[in-house]
Amino acid sequence: MNANDSKKLSYRRYDDGDKVYDDFTDKIFNAGHTHKCPTYVHRTPPCQGSCPSGHDVRGWLAIARGQDKPADPETPWQQYAFERMTESNPFPSVMGRVCPAPCQSGCNRNEVDDFVGINAVEHYVGDWAIENKVTYPTAAADTGKKVAVIGGGPAGLSAAYHLRKLGHGVTVFDEHEELGGMMRYGIPGYRTPREMLDSEIDRIIDMGVKVKTATRIGTDITMEKIDADFDAVFWGIGAQSGRALPVPGADASNCITGVAFLDAYNQGRLQHVTGRVIVIGGGDTSIDVASVARRLGNIASASVNDRAENIVMGHTAHDVAATAIREGADVTLTSLFKFDQMMASAREREDAVSEGVDIMDGVMPLEVMLDDDGRARALKMSKCDMDGGAPVAQEGTEFELECDLIVSAIGQSGNLDGLNDLDNGRGFIDTDKNYKVSSKDNHFAGGDIIRPHLLTTAIGHASIAVEGIHKFLVGEEQAQRRPKVDVHHFNLLEELHQRHLDPDATTHEPTRGTAEDNFAVHNYEDRADKQIIPHDELFLGHFGYEERNHRAEIKVQASEVLGNFDERLNTITEEQAQAEGERCMSCGMCFECDNCVIYCPQDAVFRVKKDKVAIGRYVDTDYAKCIGCHICMDVCPTGYIQMGLGE
């Protein structure tokens, strides 16, 4: 392989020049007797451990490859995968498009060739469910309890979804005209197609969720009224206030925030920019601002009220401005960090460059330079070095960038006007590990109002908060501690139950002479709430090079970007989704490869009977034959087999 080729064709157990190797033949004939026997250990895969919403990624990839089949043979695999996905995340179509996918960064397959296309499979299944009009099951029996969900974004809607599944009454309040929060008002429609977003929201509302839009709690309805009418409250109001630049002159009228810019655009009010635009940031929001500005385009002359900052502040553009001939906008995005260290995903950065955004990295703003009217005419900047997260200006490198609009996309905070009792003094709400509001036993919160982060983080907060809300409503004590690995775990007993394979005993103490008893799996240990399985505990030599099935992307060039609001990501095919399922290494869970059966020199490891097979129960061990040679562990690709004490 060419030394300059960064693509690894496959995992290799040995490096060039190695002369000492494991002799499996000797191991087989020497047997290596020990008092340790195969133990089947379930652990969390790094994809799931990296997912803030706790997706059972390994589980629905097993469905995609056909290993885990629905109990009802008439159920399409896509529907079964959708049901597994939405145990944690009710927005697979949206999140499959826009999530920056920390699951893929953590994927152990990166050690072999390339990560599994998790987002692409989620995108495919989410769209399939919409096209096939898949709905959620009927909510559980009505509990008689009512919960107010304040905020109709990813956190609030996810909370409403989980609460309705449990049978609680839910009313969602939102100050906007439509639900969706940052998915609608913070991300442009060419990244989250509105028909897909609306379908996923409607699916939740159809569970029996009541909705009151254009209603702000603390202004239109008092907090006292909410407390009187509802048994519990979930706060998912997001961080709707952008952070201004912390430099002199940043209070100029044409210095606005990225949150306000995108909100005005997504409401249909902002239809153009005027002159040269500087966007300060480096994260996904700054990329969205810059990319939207390029698509809107610049009109050469505009009245005062038609300036972008005035549209953002609430003015309506004149008809002549809406129909004026546009030219490509001159957009510069500046970042404290170097290009490859920016917070925005690599794909978004690269797309912005190809669309004509000038990205200037390693620079920091020093001062907004004002004209005689007090408007920003330029941004004074310098090159900088980073001291941890703090920029340090390089003396003598100062320069000015001329501009007509400055957009600050450097952070957000909540808007808690009228809700002072909840404000921690920094524009956020403080909660405990169960996401219970510190000062109120029946109030919980999640999403950006706790800490601005990813959409998937807000979805994960809601899932955990609903556990706390449910415990409060039914009179149970709150959990004193959360699991170390706090995700939606595979449950072997639930898997067996859905296939009518319940064991005779669901719990038992370790005792001798149980080999003939009908346990779920003999010598099974579930460490999923404590351990994430690393790549060095897998047998990576089992996996050959397999090219990832890439989603086709529509690359928009600078000359084509003006007025182009078409979606950029295409959906993969069913065959490609299934192929990505095949590429999953099923870290921490048996994926039925037969290696342990084939290589066991004592024929101690055997397949269970076909009518008893389920995920996690495919092989068993005759412990009377096992001599503890641990070859089965050596050849287990997924790390599911470990050696434990036996006789």
Please give the structure tokens belonging to residue 484. Answer: 């170390």
Residue 66 has a CB neighbour count (10 Å cut-off) of 11
CA–CA distance, 345 with 36 (Å, rounded to integer): 46
Q: Is 237 exposed, middle or buried (0-12, 13-18, 19+ CB in 10 A)?
A: buried
Strand partners of residue 148: 171, 233
How many Cα atoms sit within 13 Å of 23 on the Cβ side? 8
Q: Which residues contact 40 (CB under 8 A, 6 or more apart)?
A: 521, 523, 524, 525, 590, 616, 640, 641
Q: For the chain, what are the domain ranges?
A: 146-240+414-474, 244-410
Q: What percent of the chain has pLDDT over 70?
A: 88
Write the single-letter amino acid at 46.
P
Please give the structure tokens belonging to residue 622. Answer: 């005759």
Q: Residue 319: pLDDT band by 50, 70, 90 thresholds? A: very low
Q: Which residues contact 170 (CB under 8 A, 6 or more apart)?
A: 146, 147, 149, 159, 160, 163, 164, 208, 209, 210
Please give the structure tokens belonging to residue 45. Answer: 């895969």
Is-contact 530 481, C-beta < 8 A?
no
Superfamily of the domain at 146-240+414-474: FAD/NAD(P)-binding domain (3.50.50.60)
Across 18-27, 244-253, 468-477, least confident range: 18-27
Flag whether pLDDT at 542 surpasses 50. yes
Cα angle 127, 163, 427; round to 5: 90
Residue 614's pLDDT is what? 92
CA–CA distance, 476 with 640 (Å, rounded to integer): 35
CA–CA distance, 467 with 464 (Å, rounded to integer): 5
CA–CA distance, 59 with 394 (Å, rounded to integer): 50
Residue 63's pLDDT is what? 97
CA–CA distance, 152 with 215 (Å, rounded to integer): 11
Is-contact 542 56, C-beta < 8 A?
no
Residue 18 has a CB neighbour count (10 Å cut-off) of 9
Flag whether pLDDT at 259 surpasses 70. yes
- The side-by-side arrangement of strands in the sheet containing 210-212 is 210-212, 169-173, 146-150, 232-235, 443-445
Residue 644's pLDDT is what? 82
Is-contact 460 88, C-beta < 8 A?
yes
Is-contact 359 353, C-beta < 8 A?
yes
Task: Report helix, strand or coil for 21.
Answer: coil
Flag whether pLDDT at 437 surpasses 80. yes
Tell me whether the CATH fold assigned to 146-240+414-474 matches the one assigned to 244-410: yes
Please give the structure tokens belonging to residue 614. Answer: 């389920």
Element of type H or E holding 93: helix 92-98
Q: What percent of the chain has pLDDT over 90?
A: 73
**pLDDT tens, position by position, 346-368:** 889 999 999 999 999 999 999 99
Look at domain 244-410 and name its CATH class. Answer: alpha beta
Task: Report helix, strand or coil for 382.
Answer: strand
Strand partners of residue 614: 617
Classify residue 217 by its DSSP letter: B
CA–CA distance, 299 with 326 (Å, rounded to integer): 5
Determine the angle formed by the axes of helices 284-296 and 346-354, rounding to 10 degrees: 20
Flag whether pLDDT at 461 surpasses 50. yes
How many Cα atoms sit within 13 Å of 155 on the Cβ side? 31
Is-contact 362 383, C-beta < 8 A?
yes
Across 232-246, 266-280, 338-352, 512-526, least confident range: 512-526
